[in-house]
């Protein structure tokens, strides 16, 4: 049962950098892996995720009994997934594992070559791209999967040989789940009638596609992305300069970021490309997410969101939050209060943050300008945009648009004309790197 190259299954744990947590489901795969970790004589603990399903008490009891048999600590994380779908259960499981572990811990899961073959085949049916056909990654963040080249039968044999009290999850037999149908029906059909080595063929495909995906991603990373809680966006100019194959990989990256870990289908990628090509917004089934053009950006997200909400005026003393903007003072040793790289104001002045009003004007070097016009020039919504005013309600700053003009920036004081400006802006959009 030892893998090629002389490395035993136990030795794989010695190549994991960080404290080890075994995700112990109570099934044979994770039971065997916990036992191998024990044999490897590495310090570890277990986490069991209780999904609250009909079979969960049985799985929880098995996991606890396995931990007792191995004399290892176990923590139970109870979750309430949004739905009983495969995607919802998986998302809830990973969230629970990460929530109940520390950043320096590495969470070892029981994924096998069988899981890899099923995933590649499912993604192939969905029309996924290279990253989807690369299957399950050996590592993603804190999650490590050191047994992706080991079959489920091998791990079950270890669990049986060592007398571990595992049980089989009845959820794995339900044909309501696509993965179970692929496992019970499609893979056996392909193995019997088309390719006896279908599982090893699919896992080999995963390794080859992972290499291709890594190469493509090194190119794709040159297209800068920005992320907010409403979606993700890419600059149209950089997309236009890229080859179509690179653009499509950017779309896949954007879509996967919005709903990990599911790779997008080819149809979804084509819809985003159509939006880029000028066909208008594209909708995605059973979701509020759309692809659309917003100024110089291609956005995949919730259209019409991300704007500031109207709130009462907030006094800016040590800091304030207004919608997605955060304001704060930055004190300097040489100046009383430093509010930005360009402007200064003494701390004798009081500043406020509020929404735009129709009659607001902002001081300029030659006269003044309507704040509503200034905001519209930048394609922002005036009614939902914050401004900063002084205690006399004079506009000092329109975040993302312009500052008020000050005639004596070299030697600022409370008497040298109009103040200036404020602080630090956090746009709802921020540079994104996965």
Question: pLDDT digit string (tens) for 371-423?
Answer: 877 777 776 666 667 888 877 677 877 776 776 665 444 454 433 333 333 33
Tokens 């919005």: give the residue: 258
The predicted pLDDT at position 4 comes to 44
Cα–Cα distance for residue pair 42/36, rounded to 1 Å: 10
pLDDT above 90 for 48? yes
- Domains in the chain (CATH in brackets) are 4-205 (3.40.50.620), 221-301 (3.30.465.60), 314-429 (no CATH)
The predicted pLDDT at position 126 comes to 82
pLDDT tens digits, 303-322: 654 433 345 677 766 667 76
- Cα-based distances in Å from 161 to 86, 113, 158: 31, 20, 5
Instruction: Taking residues 150-170, report their average pLDDT.
Output: 95
Tokens of 354: 């509020």
Cα–Cα distance for residue pair 114/48, rounded to 1 Å: 22
Instruction: Taking residues 245-259, report their average pLDDT.
Output: 87
Instruction: Please state the separation of Cα 314 from the chain's center in Å.
Output: 32
Contact 262, 251 (CB under 8 A): no
pLDDT tens digits, 268-283: 899 999 999 988 888 7
Half-sphere exposure of 293 (CA within 13 A, CB side): 13
Cα–Cα distance for residue pair 166/70, rounded to 1 Å: 12
Q: Of 357 and 244, which is predicted with more confidence?
A: 244
Contact 351, 420 (CB under 8 A): no
Q: Average per-residue pLDDT in the chain?
A: 80
The predicted pLDDT at position 397 comes to 76
pLDDT above 70 for 101? yes
pLDDT above 50 for 6? no
Cα–Cα distance for residue pair 108/390, rounded to 1 Å: 56
Instruction: Say if strands 139-140 and 143-144 run parallel, antiparallel, or are unpaired.
Output: antiparallel
- Cα-based distances in Å from 381 to 176, 295, 324, 374, 393: 46, 13, 14, 11, 21
pLDDT tens digits, 58-77: 999 999 999 999 999 999 99
- Cα-based distances in Å from 130 to 123, 187, 401: 10, 21, 41
pLDDT above 90 for 12? yes
Three-state SS annotation for the chain? CCCHHHCCCHHHHHHCCCEEEEECCCCHHHHHHHHHHHHCCCCEEEEEEECCCCCHHHHHHHHHHHHHHHCCCEEEEECCCCCCCHHHHHHHHHHHHHHCCCCCEEEECCCCHHHHHHHHHHHHHHCCCHHHHCCCCCEECCEECCCCCCCHHHHHHHHHHCCCCCCCCHHHHCCCCHHHHHHHHHHHHHHHHCCCCHHHHHHHHHHHHHHHHHHHHHHHCCCCEEEECCEEEEEHHHHHHCCHHHHHHHHHHHHHHHCCCCCCCHHHHHHHHHHHHHHCCEECCCCCCEEEEECCEEEEECCCCCCCCCCCCEEECCCEEECCEEECCECCCCCCCECCCCCECCCCCCEEEEECCCCCEEEECCEEEEHHHHHHHCCCCHHHCEEEEECCCCEEEECCCEECCCCCCCCCCCCCCCCCCCCCCCCCCEEECC
Cα–Cα distance for residue pair 203/225, rounded to 1 Å: 31
pLDDT tens digits, 108-119: 999 999 999 999
pLDDT above 80 for 333? no
Cα–Cα distance for residue pair 84/90, rounded to 1 Å: 10
> Per-residue confidence at 90, pLDDT binned at 50, 70, 90?
confident
Nearest to 224 by CA among 213, 238, 244: 238
This prediction has a pTM of 0.60
């Amino acid at each position: 049962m030892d893998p090629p190259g002389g490395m035993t299954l136990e030795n794989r744990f010695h190549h994991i950098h960080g404290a080890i947590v075994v995700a112990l489901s109570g099934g044979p795969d994770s039971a065997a892996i916990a036992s191998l970790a024990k044999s490897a004589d590495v310090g570890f603990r277990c986490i069991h995720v209780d999904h609250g399903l009909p079979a969960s008490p049985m799985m929880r009891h098995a996991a606890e009994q396995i931990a007792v048999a191995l004399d290892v600590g176990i923590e139970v994380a109870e979750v309430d997934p949004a739905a009983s779908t495969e995607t919802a259960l998986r998302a809830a499981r990973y969230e629970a594992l990460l929530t109940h572990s520390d950043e320096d811990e590495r969470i070892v899961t029981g994924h096998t070559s069988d899981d890899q073959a099923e995933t590649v085949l499912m993604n192939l049916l969905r029309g996924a791209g290279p990253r989807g056909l690369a299957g399950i990654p050996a590592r993603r963040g804190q999650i490590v999967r050191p047994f992706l080249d080991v079959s489920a039968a091998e791990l079950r044999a270890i669990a049986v040989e060592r007398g571990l009290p595992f049980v089989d999850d009845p959820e794995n037999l339900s044909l309501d789940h696509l993965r179970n149908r692929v496992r019970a029906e499609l893979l056996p059909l392909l193995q019997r009638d088309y390719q006896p080595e279908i599982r090893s063929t699919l896992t080999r495909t995963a390794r080859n596609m992972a290499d291709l995906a890594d190469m493509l991603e090194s190119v794709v990373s040159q297209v800068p992305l920005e992320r907010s809680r409403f979606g993700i966006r890419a600059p149209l100019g950089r997309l236009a300069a890229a080859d179509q194959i690179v653009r499509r990989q950017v779309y896949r990256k954007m879509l996967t970021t919005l709903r990990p870990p599911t790779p997008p289908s080819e149809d979804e990628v084509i819809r985003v490309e159509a939006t880029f090509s000028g066909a208008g917004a594209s909708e995605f089934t059973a979701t509020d997410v759309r692809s659309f053009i917003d100024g110089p950006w291609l956005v995949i997200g919730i259209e019409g969101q991300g704007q500031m909400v109207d709130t009462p005026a907030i006094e800016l003393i040590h800091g304030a939050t207004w919608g997605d903007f955060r304001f704060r003072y930055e004190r300097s040793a040489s100046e009383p209060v430093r509010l930005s790289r360009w402007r200064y104001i003494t701390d004798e002045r009081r500043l406020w943050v509020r929404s735009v009003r129709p009659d607001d004007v902002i001081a300029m070097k030659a006269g003044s300008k309507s704040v509503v016009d200034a905001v519209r020039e930048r394609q922002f919504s005036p009614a939902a945009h914050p401004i900063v005013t002084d205690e006399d309600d004079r506009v000092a700053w329109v975040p993302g648009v312009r500052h008020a003009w000050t005639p004596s920036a070299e030697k600022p004081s409370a008497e040298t004309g109009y103040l200036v400006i404020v602080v630090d802006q956090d746009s709802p959009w921020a540079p994104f790197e996965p």
